[in-house]
Structures are given as C-alpha cells and as structure tokens.
Amino acid sequence: MPSLPFYQWTVDDEEIAEDAIMVGIGGIDIHMLAVGLAYVEPTASIYWCARLTGRGVFEAGGEMGPWSVPDALDSAHALRILMGYDRVVVTMAEVGIWRDAWGRLADQEGY
C-alpha cells in the first residue's frame, strides 16, 4: 500500500511558499458549528507564485475552486510536476479541518 503524501502546512494566510503549489482549504470550523451553521464539506483552491523553473517561466496564478480537497491535492501534484515546482503545501482555515485520509501533516506548522 503506498504511503500517504506528506504536507507542510499553515493556518497563516500571509505565509507564502514561493517554491510550492499551494492548496488553500476552507470550510465550516468548530466555531461556526457552535453558533449553529450547518456543516459543509471543506473545499479548496489551488494557487502558486511566479517562478522560473526548469520547465519554464510561470506567472502567479491559480485554479480557483471550489474543488473537493482530494481533487485539489491531486491537481496540485500534477501541476507541481508539469510546472517544475518543488512541492505541494497546504493552507487551512484551522488545522482541525484536515482529514487523515488526505495525507500526513508535518508535526510543526510552517512552510
């Protein structure tokens, strides 16, 4: 059985990984549930910084969702290979939104 992908992550919207395809995950967090909002599956967007790689020159851009999180992560890995970026990282509204089925998170927050 193949191992699950490993991701560096942050909940800081201001943190950027210039060498990575970034997947931003959002949805209903525990605080929203506590005030009575209905649960909605998390969704994701994909984005990247401008970069020169061995595959070419890429302007900053993204693939705005909403994507399902598994689809966004799969697409981000495909884009990483296609564009020659170094890795895929994750930005989340809160770490509690993450599901183990999507992969493994680094023990410490930060890119």
Q: Mind listing the pLDDT tens digit of every residue in the chain (111 residues)?
A: 568 999 999 999 899 999 999 999 998 766 766 787 777 789 999 999 999 999 999 999 999 889 999 999 999 999 999 999 999 999 998 898 899 999 999 999 999
pTM beyond cutoff 0.75: yes
pLDDT at 91: 97
User: If DSSP codes are grouped into helix, strand and coil, which group holds residue 85?
Assistant: coil
